[in-house]
């Protein structure tokens, strides 16, 4: 795992598949997503390297239920005692009550998904978070980053969310938006359950005022993020979708 400073109060934790983020408010941390199985101890090491303890993580916010975001978060929750927050539409899958719906793949996505599957670690025998999941609806303001707004961003999964920190101009998109591993360009996230809805969410996130955008996959945009997201969103056709 690589630990990369994005801002003095924000670090990206980059795993072989995907990434998570640590936001710092003084001696309190918030973890956004948690990586694949086996990532929990690595997150604890990153927290210690920042001069804090795992118990200083006050909350774990999941942008959605997929294993490259959930499994490491479950491990770290057990190590730290931090509460787990997720949108109510994804909460049953976070708890492991049922497998979540699979993506509706575009043909060009199939070889990419097959390649990713070869590097994913084995999942736990009984995946899911066994404790209470604090369910979100969207619209809440969480107590970190001087007010972190929960933004509904369905399409990648039904319960996907983003987090917007207006005071700091920071946006966490989860997998609603990504950066290309080839050239770093901002793009619509892949492996969606509803492509039209995902594109509508992308456009809504692009309309937020943000200087920095942090994705579930790919390098963050560290300046003029809104302009980069808008330019990318405008390359896609406009589709009508019910929200």
d(CA 215, CA 174): 5
Please give the distance of CA 123 from its chain centroid, rounded to a whole number: 19
Residues 6+ away with beta carbon under 8 Å from 235: none
The CB density around residue 107, as the number of other CB atoms within 10 Å, is: 6
Q: What pLDDT is stored for residue 183 in this prediction?
A: 86
Q: Is residue 96 part of a domain?
A: yes
Residue 239: inside a domain, yes or no? no
What's the pLDDT score for residue 241?
A: 54
CATH of the domain at 141: 3.60.15.10
Residue 20 pairs with which residues in a beta bridge?
Answer: 13
Q: What's the domain count of the chain? A: 1
- Cα(105)–Cα(192) distance, integer angstroms: 7
Within a domain: 177: yes
Quote the crossing angle between the two packed helices 40-49 and 67-80, to the nearest 10°.
60
Query: In a 10 Å sphere around its CB, with 0-12 CB exposed, 13-18 middle and 19+ buried, how is residue 169 labelled?
Result: middle
Query: Tens of pLDDT along 158-209?
Result: 999 999 999 999 999 999 999 998 888 999 999 999 999 999 999 999 999 9
Any domain includes 243: no
| pLDDT the model gives residue 18 | 92
Buried b (16+ CB within 10 A) or exposed e, 47-64: beeeebebebbbbbbbbb
Longest dimension (CA), the chain: 49
Whole-model pTM over 0.85 = yes
114 within a domain of the structure (yes/no): yes
Which backbone phi and psi does 4 adopt, to 5 degrees? Answer: -125, 125
Asked, for residue 181, whether it belongs to a domain, the answer is yes
Is there a domain that residue 100 lies in?
yes
- Residue 93 CA neighbour count, 13 Å, CB half: 21
Q: What is the pLDDT of residue 240?
A: 59
Per-residue pLDDT of the chain (243 residues; tens, 9 = 90+): 999 999 999 999 999 999 999 999 999 999 999 999 999 999 999 999 999 999 999 999 999 999 999 999 999 999 999 999 999 999 999 999 999 999 999 999 999 999 999 999 999 888 999 999 999 999 999 999 999 999 999 999 999 999 999 999 999 999 999 999 888 899 999 999 999 999 999 999 999 999 999 999 999 999 999 999 999 999 988 765 554
According to DSSP, residue 101 is labeled P
Q: Quote the domain boundaries for residue 97.
A: 2-233
The answer to whether residue 30 sits within a structural domain is: yes
């Amino acid at each position: 795992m690589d630990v990369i400073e994005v801002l003095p109060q924000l670090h990206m934790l980059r795993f072989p598949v995907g990434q998570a983020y640590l936001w710092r408010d003084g001696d309190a941390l918030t973890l956004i997503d948690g990586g694949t199985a086996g990532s929990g101890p690595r997150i604890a090491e990153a927290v210690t390297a920042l001069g804090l303890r795992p118990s200083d993580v006050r909350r774990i916010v999941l942008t959605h239920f997929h294993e490259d975001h959930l499994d490491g978060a479950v491990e770290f929750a057990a190590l730290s005692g931090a509460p787990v927050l997720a949108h109510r539409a994804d909460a049953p899958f976070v708890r492991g009550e049922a497998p979540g719906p699979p993506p509706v793949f575009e043909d060009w996505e199939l070889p990419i998904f097959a390649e990713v599957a070869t590097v994913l670690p084995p999942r736990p025998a009984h995946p899911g978070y066994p404790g209470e999941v604090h369910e979100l609806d969207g619209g809440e303001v969480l107590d970190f980053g001087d007010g972190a707004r929960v933004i509904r961003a369905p399409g990648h999964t039904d319960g996907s969310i983003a987090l917007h920190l207006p005071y700091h101009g920071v946006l966490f998109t989860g997998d609603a938006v990504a950066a290309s591993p080839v050239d770093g360009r901002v793009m619509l996230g892949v492996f969606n359950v509803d492509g039209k809805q995902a594109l509508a969410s992308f456009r809504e996130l692009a309309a937020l005022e943000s200087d920095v955008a942090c994705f579930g996959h790919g390098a963050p945009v560290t300046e003029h993020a809104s302009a980069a997201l808008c330019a990318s969103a405008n390359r896609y056709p406009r589709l009508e979708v019910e929200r």
